[in-house]
Amino acid sequence: MSDEFYRIKRMPPYVIAEVNAMRHAARQAGRDIIDLGMGNPDQPPPQHVIDKLCEVAAKPDAHGYSQSKGIPGLRRAQSNYYQRRFGVELDPEREVVVTMGSKEGLSSMATAISAPGDVILAPSPAYPIHTYGFMIAGATIRSVPTTPDENYWRALDNAMAYTVPRPTVLVVNYPSNPTAETVDLDFYERLVAWAKRNEVWVLSDLAYSELYYDGKPTRSILEVPGAIEIAVEFTSMSKTFSMAGWRIGFCVGNQKLIAALTRVKSYLDYGAFTPVQAAACAALNGPQEVVEQNRARYQHRRDVMVESFTRAGWAIPNPPASMFTWARLPPGFENMGSLEFSKRLLQEAEVAVAAGVGFGEEGEGYVRIAMVENEQRIRQAARNIKKFLADYGR
């Protein structure tokens, strides 16, 4: 009996989990680790959302199986969100499906639409599910750049010209996790035209739709006329409403892709717990001040982080969106490698960050730093890092 399972062999060790295990062990030993590694919101959801969860959970008939594609009220709420936020009209019955977070949605979509041997275009560096969801399904990944410049378009054209079989799906993620890069509507217009010309499906991950800064809202690919003919988009309640552990997200757009995802999910799950879906309705339909407050909170943390880390001797970028900054290793550490640097930073400065190599080969030389601690803790992290850099330079 072999223990060399096909899909497990295709998956390398999860680098991010290695640093997470070290962080957990350090905390178990009583060390005060400032965790800037995982994009895990530190604020609770709005009180009215929690109240709705409790209200519905108290009903005796709320504990049976739910609907795999989501209760009708939640699909309507997401449709209404797209209308007021992006001016996009969606049919909640045929163009919206509820997922257990965008991560589950992406992996289930990969299972639904790809077969062993298919070639998928995915960014590098990228959030791991953008590549490994398809690899688990048996597909092959061809990487394209994350940065949306002219090199990106050349890479897409080269992939179509020189890859056999021709790629069938393109994954895009803006604001990017991990790089925090953003795009404008012109980019999506060009992308939709390219996808139609090359007969490629587009999966857009818009998990950070509401974490944008400096008054520059993110855009949706579905704003482009005709985009729904070739694209779907994934969004999440996790960051917008600080509901990460609730596992609620959405996939919206092209009816064929939505139908395929819905069918696969019908075999895999019975949907999220009904009271959680009802609470998600309350979040989308209720007061939206919390969204603005979250955005303002993360923007202030961003400003504090960039200012304090730079003064500490580590100049980091000023991200236009998301809850991350994507930073090159500090001067003098360039040859260490991102994983070893992350380990050293955790052990010696008590600051956890995510090693860039965990997001793909092109992530080497970088780390992802999350803005998930308050301003006081961020400043403390900067002081720890300043001492770490000074000690290393001696």
Kindly provide the b/e burial profile for residues 112-134, where b requires at least 16 CB atoms within 10 angstroms of the residue's own CB: bbbeeebbbbbbbbbbbbbbbbb
Average pLDDT on 388-394 reads 79
Whole-number Å distance between alpha carbons of 365 and 362: 8
Query: Up-side HSE of residue 328: CA atoms within 13 Å toward CB?
Result: 10
What is residue 94's predicted lDDT score, i.e. its pLDDT? 98
Whole-number Å distance between alpha carbons of 182 and 41: 21
For residue 173, which of 146, 135, 136, 134 has the smallest C-alpha distance?
Answer: 146
**Residue 394 in this model has a pLDDT that exceeds 70:** no
What amino acid occupies position 122?
A
Looking at the whole model, is its pTM more than 0.85?
A: yes
**Residue 285 in this model has a pLDDT that exceeds 90:** yes
Whole-number Å distance between alpha carbons of 73 and 100: 16
**Helix axes of 375-393 and 289-311: crossing angle, nearest 10 degrees:** 20
The fraction of the chain above a pLDDT of 90, given in percent, is 89
Average pLDDT on 182-206 reads 98
Checking 115-121 for CB contacts under 8 A at 24+ apart, the result is 115/139, 117/165, 118/165, 118/168, 118/169, 119/159, 119/163, 119/165, 119/166, 119/167, 119/168, 120/167, 120/168, 120/169, 120/170, 120/171, 121/156, 121/159, 121/167, 121/169, 121/170, 121/171, 121/200
**Residue 14 in this model has a pLDDT that exceeds 80:** no
pLDDT in tens, 295-338: 999 999 999 999 999 999 999 999 999 999 999 999 999 899 99
What is residue 4's predicted lDDT score, i.e. its pLDDT? 74
What is residue 393's predicted lDDT score, i.e. its pLDDT? 60
What is residue 115's predicted lDDT score, i.e. its pLDDT? 92
